[in-house]
Amino acid sequence: MVTYTPSVLIHGGAGSSRPTRTQLIFLEKILCRGYALVHAGQSALTIVEEMIEALEGSGLFNAGLGSLPQLDGVQRMDASIMDGKALTAGAVANLEGYLHPINAARLVMTETDHVLIIGDSAKRLARHFALKRLPRPNKPVRPRSRSRGNPPINTRTFSLYKKMGKYGTVGAVALDLQGNLAAGASTGGVSVMFPGRVGDTPLIGSGVYADNSAGAISMTGIGESIIRMGMAKWLTELMRSGFSPSRAASHVLKELVHRIHGAAGCLVLGSKGTFTIQHTTPWMAAGHWNGKGQPIVGDRFSAPRSFSPRKA
């Protein structure tokens, strides 16, 4: 007898900018697509990959087609994916010129003995497997001037992009009909970003983690703070020790804020299908569905009780 509830969760990033109606409508569409794959008996890994692939291709989020250029005007993308059954994982960082870094991340997992491949080597891997390229040449674009609304690039990077609220990442977690978990994430980083910077998204245990015995996590927010706290693995271990997804997320996010003034949002899915979506930022584009009723999509979810996000 099945003692768990197959479910899909999705996010389009967290920050100080409110998601648009178009973005939320698209998230709902992809939730429906994701659960259709659950119903068809697809693996959690395939469900997560296909949901993130759709977000990357939409151009609506800071991932894939919509990736923000770095300070030199070049789009560099990161992604990771993890299988909770075998604890296998794959990731790419600083991938240029390809539309779906999540596909490259899965190839790292399935076709190599490695977990993370970066830069030109990730690009060669994508080329070897004939992954879909970005629809336009990945040529450097001169950053916009301050007069057109872009902040001065000589401002200290970390404080600047924190104020901008551009923490965009897309991600998904899933629990399939066989009771297997998977998690993934993809990002174009942040616009005011030193070329070569890598955030939490491709780092297993920071931005993404999945383990059938505990849960599946996909993070979004200020990558540096998520890395410093080892957020995804920490959340998983709390659930393994008996914390509910909601209690685990509340505890870890409060620690993130209190100890290092970080900012993040998370999808947390337990091994039985219980879940939470929480964030310390004013807004988070996210949704969930377990096949019952209608998909739930929103721009604000639970926050740790001791922390109230500032109003946008």
Active site residues: 169
* Contact between residue 79 and residue 92 where contact means Cβ atoms under 8 Å apart: yes
- 14 - beta bridge partners? 284
Element of type H or E holding 227? helix 223-229
Name the token pair of 206. Answer: 């920071």
Residues of 278-289 as b/e, b for ≥16 C-beta within 10 angstroms?
A: bbbbbbbbbbbb
* CA 151 – CA 5 distance, rounded (Å): 46
* DSSP-derived secondary structure for 286-298: EEEE-SSSS-EEE
The token duo for 81 is: 């994916």
SS (HEC) of 53-122: HHHHHHCCCCCHHHCCECCCCCECEEEEEEECCCCEEEEEEEECCECCHHHHHHHHHHHCCCCEEEHHHH
**Cβ distance 201 to 185 under 8 Å?**
yes
3-state SS string for 158-224: HHHHHHHCCCCCEEEEEECCCCCEEEEEEECCCCCCCCCCCCCCCCECCCEEEECCCEEEEEEECHH
Helix or strand holding residue 47 (H, E): helix 44-58
Residues 172 and 88: their CA atoms lie apart, in Å, by: 17
